[in-house]
Chain A
Amino acid sequence: RYFFALASCRLTPPHRRLCTGDGGPAGLADAQTVFALSSGYGRCGVAVIRVSGPASMTALRSMAGLKHRLPPPRTALLRSITDPRTEEVLDRGLVLWFPGPHSFTGEDSAEFHVHGGPAVIAAVLQALGSVPGMRPAEAGEFTRRAFQAGKLGLTEVEGLGDLIHAETEAQRRQALRQMSGELGRLYQDWSRKLKRCLAHVEAFIDFSEDELIEDGVLNQVDTSVLNLQTEIERHLKDERRGERLRSGVQVVIAGATNAGKSSLLNTLCQRPAAIVSPIAGTTRDVVETALDVGGFPILLSDTAGLRDSPDLVEREGVRRARERVEQADLTLVVVDGSHLPPDDGEAAVFLQDHLSGVLPTQDQCLLVLNKVDLLTEETKQKLEADLSRVPGLPPLCFISCHTNEGLQHFLTELHNRVKTLCGDPLSGAPTLTQARHRAHLQQCVAALAQYQRYRDADLALAAEGVRLALTGLGRITGRVGAEEILDIIFKDFCIGK
């Protein structure tokens, strides 16, 4: 073994890692290279995965079988794409190599054009994550890198803020959806435990010389850190433990009671998925159906009608409805068209009021006026003409779930909206989020190992490990500041000067 090692050393001499004690902080090595799915998902034949940063070449060579030759710059090559760990062929696709500075980000970049199926994309993203020095990109990171390298023109820079806003907003919704589930609770729990660990180590460092902070505190931290480490490792190994992430554009039907929300759901999925009755408040829970609209996957949810109700069950239903609206990519607000005030000016005001009662923000919504079969043709045309002139109202659709009138127009409108939403790679691709979570959790585990390595030799470096672990987890659950740690310290210990 030793001989073999020696021989391989001769072949690649200067590339050695710094070795601290028994291994050094190698697991936390520089993670400057980022990757992300940059095409949309859903009905797409080809998915584009982009890599940017110094390790791009390593990734390209190890995954596209280019170990012994350099790929020509800016030329498409048809290659088998393999997982560098298992050598298993994942897909056959095009790879492109853009040496910096002549690339979008100004850094060395590469692109993988693979088949658009979710399984292939997930496999390639996972394989990329296993290349040393690679991590999934944060929201807007490619654009930000391009900006920093001076690669964006003036007009592009102006749009940058809005772009990042849109991306972080999509990610926030995505995070909200996932954090409300079992997985979210798990991460929050880890974060809480880690915060406590860090607070106790920090208390021991900053106060134990003058204060009554027993050595036992540190022993508790040891146990906690070890438990957390095994728990996160087990979580990373066991894929089934994670909640299955729902995929597709999240479309939520919301509105007042008896507006015909459940009828709309049934009409759209062409089967009686939800119970429909003339009694207000029939739907109490969220009814979910997966649908395909013009080739794009959507997850349609019908919710309870929004009203104040003394009934406990219904009140819970309304709470859930509001939660869903908060997390939705697109909201269909259904209004009973026959209940609109007859006066044209008042109808617009009524609709505005109604919308602000249903939605927190109005940027992603369609207004659906149901039951138009109950209106006379004359009133309907007058309404249509009046309301199209009102600025600030979202797009309107007049339909009747009863006679299917206007349904075609509505479906076209829905199709267009869903298409735009799917073009945004961040709005619902769970594979990407999963890959990001994995990367952060791996970072967290490596950092906890650092704690154990330095626990007895150097507590400052051990504490650094817990800090890094919390930073890693904080990328999923939200940032933790120094003040928060100090608050825990002062709550748990009697500290004097």
Chain B
Amino acid sequence: MLTKKIVPLQSFLSVVSRRAGHLAGRHYDVIVVGGGHAGTEAAAAAARVGAETLLVTQKIHTIGVLSCNPSLGGVGKGQLVKEVDALDGLCGRAGDWAGIYFSILNRRKGPAVWGPRAQLDRQRYREFIQSELLCTPRLTVLEGAVEELMVTDANPQEPGRHRVTGIRLANDSDPILASSVVLTTGTFLSGSLFMGRTTSPGGRIGDAPSSAGISNTLRDRLGLRMGRLKTGTPPRILKDSVDFSLAKFQPPDSIPSPFSFLNTHVRCKPEEQQSCYLTYTTPGVERVVRETLHLNCHVQQDTKGPRYCPSIESRVLRFPGRSHQVWLEPEGVNSDLLYPQGLTMTMPPEMQLRLIREIPPFHRAEIHTPGYGVHYDYVCPTQLSPALQVKSAQGLFLAGQINGTTGYEEAAAQGVWAGANAARSALSMPPVTLSRTESYIGVLIDDLVTRGVTEPYRMFTSRAEFRTSLRPDNADLRLTLKGFEEVGCVSSFRYQETVRVRDSLQEALTALQSLTMSPPAWRKKLPDIRMIVRYFVCLFFSGMEVLQYQDVSFEMLESVFPECLSPYKEFSQRLKIEAVYRPHCELQKRDIERIQREENMSLPQDIDYFSLPVSLSVEVRQILDRVRPSTLGAATRLPGVTPAAIVHLLNYVWHKGQKEKRAHKRQLHQKEDREEELSARNAS
């Protein structure tokens, strides 16, 4: 995939129409509103599933823009990138194309928590995403501002249920119709920008917020509960004005590891990688923050911001008297700018300059663009189904920051899933869900739709109970097969590749299991390994068990048994990880199966919990009515729902299942009878 030629931007713009006149009145399967990480993944996924898709964005040339930090992945986030890639999404391959500094975080802490991460070249990333969208069949891109989201009136048979019908663009009277609409408005929904004491409407510096029409439909027509969150971005600094000799050099990995399972290497040559530096704040920074507090309305607002991506103001206010890390990150190969990660600030521009000059490497630095804060609306995500569809509006899907998350990777993950489900809904296929036992995307969506958010949600590895099973190295085995067989969002090329990988891994593990020797024999073969033998536990060691030792690598075993193991050399790292983790994953299997069994019992969305003829307390009824969990598994994770209540629900679901089974049987019988009758008639 890396060898693909990037289509120049100009030709891209000429292919897609800037004017929407001829599209008015047309019907699409899926319309995606927004061209950020969620929007691009959603549009591409919908098209892959087979839906005629339209992507509408304010400015075509900002599709795939990295609005904040020029990096992708990290601890927890890297897992999401791997999973999006396993579902044939864009961001993994785009990262491999645009990366200019690769490192695996947590390298020394165990493969389950490795965090693949890359610094990106902004220009290259945008180019890749745009050209990829251009090459996607069934996908049209349109420049325009959405004026109105159109929904039907509530269905009188099912009170509170609407259906989405399409969108209307600004300056255009005719609507564009669609069966599904995916909203990925990011920070643009009623967005306002803060810098010092000035406030202006906008979703990103230089870009207008989305129209009030969308907010109105969500809030007033659909009656969705909404909230407000904030985030921010640091100033960009001119590279030439920075004294790097005062900062600590941070080398990249000597051999970059690609994000995508399809790539064996990245575009950037190992020796051509850029540099990152690390420095620290000084007491002077804290002084400036305190002195300018009265000029800073973003900080004074009590809107919730992310606890783990706080502005420098909230950092020094919460943890005074300490020095904080600042990372100096490159913005691109040819860019003359520098991104100071950790210095998000919203004070007036002249104060920002004063502040950064308190940090040694910046003592003569010049600011290119000042930092600013953004406030934006989000929809309380407990109103969504696990397919990310708004429960009260058939065909309306939400993904990204509009659901209260933060970060590119979280947005991309929701985008793929919302896009695939929007397409399935438009093509009359049943929705698909991901369990938290099989993926980080499942954890993300389950946390959002069952617990909701109180602050911008970011992925951490500690949120995944089954972290040791959900590793970055096995994302393809977990998701690609399902993505092809059940969802339809994976190309057959990738599917076949994954099937090959799966079968080879299986063969290799079987081979390792079958290579057994007594400990003395192993010692003779591998003299450097200290093998602890418990005489009552192990008498013969298999290759698999020997591989579990910390100092043993697959290469060592391969040198001992070249004839059996050399065909699997390309998987040496995966096999080593698999051998170490397998016993732990086996232990987790029972819990995973229990959760999956509970998640397979779905609770109908139209239950009236208040009139359900089972004995439930009023509090439990209220909780269930508010959240409307879609499965029994989700219900058990709700705080306040008692074990007894779960059993009553279980009983209800079971009864319903029995009833349906009986009805189904009756239908079958009737069908058989009819067929018999027919054949009897034919015979006569």
Chain A residues engaging chain B, CB cutoff 8 angstroms? 1-2, 4-6, 9, 16-26, 28-30, 32, 139-140, 144, 147, 157-158, 160-162, 164-165, 168, 202, 204-212, 454, 457-462, 464, 482-483, 485-486, 489-490, 494-497
Contacts and interface: CB of A to CB of B under 8 A. Distances in A.
A496 to B, nearest CB: 5
Interface of B: 69, 74-76, 105-106, 108-113, 115, 306-310, 315, 318-319, 322-325, 327, 341-342, 451, 460-463, 465, 467-468, 532, 534-541, 545, 548-550, 580-584, 587, 590, 614-615, 642-645, 647-648, 650-651, 654
Q: Which 3 A-B residue pairs are closest in the complex by CB-CB distance?
A: A460-B110, A458-B110, A165-B644
Contact of A160 (B108, B324, B539, B647): B647
**Of listed B315, B322, B462, B651, residue having the most chain A CB within 10 A:** B462
B109 A205 contact: yes
A496 B309 contact: yes
B539 A9 contact: yes
A161 B534 contact: no
A495 B319 CA distance: 10
Given A458-B109, A460-B111, A32 B548 contact: no
B342 A496 contact: yes
Contacts of A204: 109
Contacts of A32: 590
B192 to A, nearest CB: 22
Contacts of A158: 651
Contact of A161 (B310, B584, B651): B651
Contacts of B587: 25, 28-30
Contacts of B113: 205-206, 459-460
A212 B468 contact: no
Contacts of B538: 16-17, 19
A204 B537 CA distance: 34
Nearest to A487: B307
A431 to B, nearest CB: 23
Nearest to A157: B651
B342 A486 contact: no
Contacts of B74: 209-210
How would you classify the secondary structure of chain A's contact residues: helix, strand, loop or mixed?
A: helix
A212 B324 contact: yes
B327 A24 contact: no
Contacts of A485: 462
B537 A16 contact: yes
Contacts of B642: 165, 168
Given A458-B580, A494-B324, A161 B615 contact: yes
Most chain A beta-carbon contacts within 10 A, residue among B74, B322, B642, B643: B643
A386 to B, nearest CB: 31
B460 A496 contact: no
Point out which of A207, A460, A489 has the most chain B C-beta atoms below 10 A from its C-beta: A460
Contacts of B648: 161
Contacts of A489: 462
A19 B537 contact: yes
11 contacts: A16-B540, A18-B583, A20-B580, A23-B534, A140-B643, A160-B647, A165-B642, A212-B322, A454-B110, A461-B580, A464-B467
Contacts of B590: 30, 32
B506 to A, nearest CB: 18
A32 B462 CA distance: 26
Contact of B462 (A30, A208, A482): A482
Contact of B322 (A25, A28, A483, A494): A494
Nearest to A10: B539
Given A20-B580, A496-B310, A497-B308, A160 B651 contact: yes
A370 B140 CA distance: 86
B467 to A, nearest CB: 7
A205 B461 contact: yes
A206 B76 contact: yes
A205 B106 CA distance: 7
A85 B650 CA distance: 41
Contacts of B111: 458, 460
Nearest to A468: B587
Contacts of B110: 454, 457-462
B461 A25 contact: no
Nearest to A165: B644
A19 B545 contact: yes
Nearest to B278: A210
A490 B458 CA distance: 13
B644 A168 contact: yes
Nearest to A211: B325
Contacts of B322: 212, 494
Contacts of B109: 204-205, 458-460
Contacts of B451: 483
Contacts of A461: 110, 112, 468, 580-581, 584
B468 A460 contact: yes
Contacts of A5: 535-536, 539
A13 to B, nearest CB: 9
A22 to B, nearest CB: 4
Nearest to B591: A471
Given A157-B654, A205-B75, A461-B112, A497 B580 contact: no
A140 B648 CA distance: 14
A465 to B, nearest CB: 10
Nearest to A489: B462
A461 B471 CA distance: 12
Given A5-B539, A210-B325, A497-B342, A20 B583 contact: yes
Nearest to B545: A19
A478 to B, nearest CB: 12
Contacts of A25: 583-584, 587
Given A161-B644, A161-B647, A497-B69, A23 B537 contact: yes
Contacts of B534: 19, 22-23
A296 B16 CA distance: 86
A455 B323 CA distance: 29
A292 to B, nearest CB: 33
Contacts of A21: 532, 548-550
A57 B625 CA distance: 46
Contacts of A20: 545, 548, 580, 583
Nearest to B462: A202
B289 to A, nearest CB: 14
Given A1-B535, A464-B584, A494-B319, A206 B460 contact: yes
A22 B532 contact: yes
Contacts of B306: 497
Contacts of A1: 535
A208 B106 CA distance: 8
A462 to B, nearest CB: 8
A410 B112 CA distance: 65
B179 to A, nearest CB: 37
A495 B75 contact: no
Nearest to B548: A20
B253 to A, nearest CB: 13
A206 B580 contact: no
Contacts of A464: 467-468, 584
A486 B580 CA distance: 27
Contacts of A208: 106
A162 to B, nearest CB: 7
Contacts of B75: 205-207, 209
